[in-house]
Amino acid sequence: MNFELSEDQKMLKDMVREFTQKEIEPHVKALEEKHEFPREILRKLAELGLLGITIPPEYEGIKTDFLSLILTLEEISYSSPSIAVIISVHSSLFCYSIFKYGSQKQKEKYLPPAAKGEIIGAFALTEPEAGSDARNLKAKAVKDGDLYILNGTKAWVTSGADAEAFITFALVEVEPGVKKLSSFIIERDFPGVQISKIEEKMGLHSSPTAEIALEDCQVPIENLLGEIGKGAHIAFHCLDCSRIGIGAQAVGISQRALEEAIRYAKQRQAFGKKISEFQAIQFEIAEMSTLIEAGRLLTYRAADLNDKGKPFSKEASMAKLFASEAANKISYLALQIHGGYGYSKEFLIEQIYRDVRVLPIYEGTSEIQRLVISRHLLKDL
Ligand SMILES: Cc1cc2nc3c(=O)[nH]c(=O)nc-3n(C[C@H](O)[C@H](O)[C@H](O)COP(=O)(O)OP(=O)(O)OC[C@H]3O[C@@H](n4cnc5c(N)ncnc54)[C@H](O)[C@@H]3O)c2cc1C
């Protein structure tokens, strides 16, 4: 068992931290206030290779191990959870699914521009009537000559209005009377793609989320991703990977909440003392820090199993479940330590408190993670 990061991982983590402090941190408040997609920052991240972290060099990426992506997401989440989720979806869901399941032609067409940040990718699985119950999706694709014609509505798509391309899922008749989910690469400019709504969200304001209507959307047959009828497998495998990224996002935000709480506790006075001198506050800080370490270890372990080619689905769900629930507890305590000022937009903890609320919801709710974990445990008994 080795708890040390490799030299390459340490160097990458330091490089991302430096970039985040210099190029992201100063812009976060304005981007969040304006609900602005961080296009310019993504361009700079691409220059550093950080949008091509799941893409091999033959397609102009810098493919690293999976843990390095996790470290990157953790560092960026410390300053901007919004930017972290955009990168997570682009890397673990869009690029990775094309790299793993795409044809040679699809890899050559989509991966180099994705690595260079010329296209940002999204992942549109959820529908207005089907989130957790992804096997109940309604979107349909019908073959018509050289095209598939897609109809349906995709909801809650991270980067949906800003991404140049996205992976989506629709039912296709694979034999008479049998419909199975299949996966497609859609370009935003394909005929029939409509951005039908931008969600007004509680947090993550610089990660705009959209609803996309597919109305007789014309998709060339070569844009079918992977085998016909294998969409559910593609979606669930890629989500296993990206759930570890949400664990990392939770750890990065939690670390920031803890540091904000410590900073505040050391300067705020009450009853003639700094509040950090009260044991109740000290115990809360100890509790927060312990939760962060536990979430970090679960997250790194799931990433390490993935890197070693071992099964990691249960561990990915455990990491996501624990770290995202912990982030909510931590941000609650950190805000509490700020007292009334924590309820004010003047203090960062107010934004953190809103941002963390989505962590136990997206990429599979905490209830769904518990289902995944218990199914793994019960199947062998
Ligand atoms: C900010 C944001 C960004 C998102 N980005 C994306 C994206 O990029 N791409 C994408 O495809 N989706 C995205 N989503 C959608 C997200 O993945 C879904 O919201 C999530 O999977 C839950 O689905 P739902 O909202 O339909 O809730 P529902 O499935 O309707 O669940 C409602 C409640 O019932 C519970 N529940 C449901 N089934 C069970 C069960 N079997 N046992 C116990 N409890 C159950 C749930 O845990 C939840 O508490 C995003 C969502 C948000 C909020």
127 DSSP assignment: B
248/329 same-domain check: yes
Let me know whether 170 and 64 are in one domain.
Answer: no
Instruction: Return the best residue to mutate from 365, 367, 373, 374 for the ligand 1 pocket (most ligand atoms within 8 A of CB).
Output: 365
| Ligand 1 near 161 CB (within 6 A) | no
Residue 2: per-residue pLDDT: 87
1 in a structural domain? no
Domain presence at residue 237: yes
Distance 170 CA to ligand 1 centre (A): 18
**367: Cβ below 6 Å to ligand 1?**
yes
Q: Which residue among 208, 228, 248 closes a domain? A: 228
Q: Is the CB of 134 under 6 A from ligand 1?
A: no
Nearest CA to ligand 1 atom 48: 365
Task: Quote the CA–CA distance of 28 and 76 in Å, as a whole number.
Answer: 11
Residue 172 resides in a domain: yes
Q: Which residues pair with 183 in a beta bridge?
A: 169, 225
Distance CA 49, CA 364 (A): 29
Do 136 and 114 share a structural domain?
A: no
pLDDT band at residue 381, thresholds of 50, 70 and 90?
A: low
What are the start-end ranges of the H helices in the chain?
7-19, 28-34, 39-47, 66-79, 81-88, 96-101, 104-115, 231-267, 279-307, 313-337, 348-355, 366-379
Asked whether residue 16 is assigned to any structural domain, the reply reads yes
Domain co-membership, 128 together with 159: yes
Verify whether ligand 1 is closer than 6 Å to residue 362 (CB atom): yes
Selection from 151, 190, 186, 157 nearest residue 171 by Cα? 151
Quick check: CB of 124 below 6 Å from ligand 1? yes
Does residue 317 share a domain with residue 244?
yes
Residue 2 lies in a domain: no
Beta bridge partners of 197: 211
Let me know if residue 36 belongs to a domain.
yes
How many structural domains comprise the chain? Answer: 3
Q: Of 94, 241, 243, whose CA–CA distance to 167 is shortest?
A: 94
Residue 286 lies in a domain: yes
- Tokens for 43? 């361009």
Domain identity same for 111 and 240? no
Quick one: 170 and 291 in the same domain? Answer: no
What is the whole-number distance in angstroms between the Cα of residue 17 and the centre of ligand 1?
31
> What separation in Å is there between the alpha carbon of 341 and the centre of ligand 1?
32
Query: To the nearest whole percent, how much of the chain has pLDDT over 90?
Result: 98
Which of 228, 245, 274 terminates a domain? The answer is 228
Handedness of CA 337, 341, 342, 346 (dihedral sign): negative
Among 90, 119, 148, which residue terminates a domain? 119
Q: Is residue 347 part of a domain?
A: yes
The whole-angstrom separation of Cα 218 and Cα 191 is 6
Q: What is the CATH number of the domain that holds 199?
A: 2.40.110.10
Looking up residue 70, the CATH number of its domain turns out to be 1.10.540.10
Q: pLDDT tens digits, residue range 178-193?
A: 999 999 999 999 999 9
- Index of the ligand 1 atom closest to the CA of residue 89: 8
- Domain shared by 108 and 159, yes or no: no
| Same-domain status, 326 and 249 | yes
Are 200 and 287 members of one domain?
A: no
- Residue pair 331/356 in contact (Cβ under 8 Å)? The answer is yes
Q: What is the pLDDT of residues 65-82, one digit of tens each?
A: 999 999 999 999 999 999
For ligand 1, whether the C-beta of 114 sits within 6 Å is no
Q: The domain spanning residue 247 has which CATH number? A: 1.20.140.10
Backbone angles phi, psi at 175, to 5 degrees: -150, 160
Confidence of residue 380 (pLDDT cuts 50, 70, 90): low
Q: pLDDT band for position 299 (50/70/90)?
A: very high
What's the token pair of residue 125? 């699985």
Q: What one-character DSSP code corresponds to residue 6?
A: P
In DSSP notation, 47-59 reads HTTTT-TTS-GGG
Asked if the model's pLDDT at residue 118 lies above 70, the reply is yes
Same domain for 139 and 222, yes or no, is yes
For residue 154, what pLDDT is reported? 98
Residue 233 · residue 182 · CB < 8 Å: no
Please give the residue range of the domain that contains residue 207.
Answer: 123-228
Q: How confident is the model at residue 227 (pLDDT cuts 50, 70, 90)?
A: very high
Q: Are residues 262 and 349 in the same domain?
A: yes
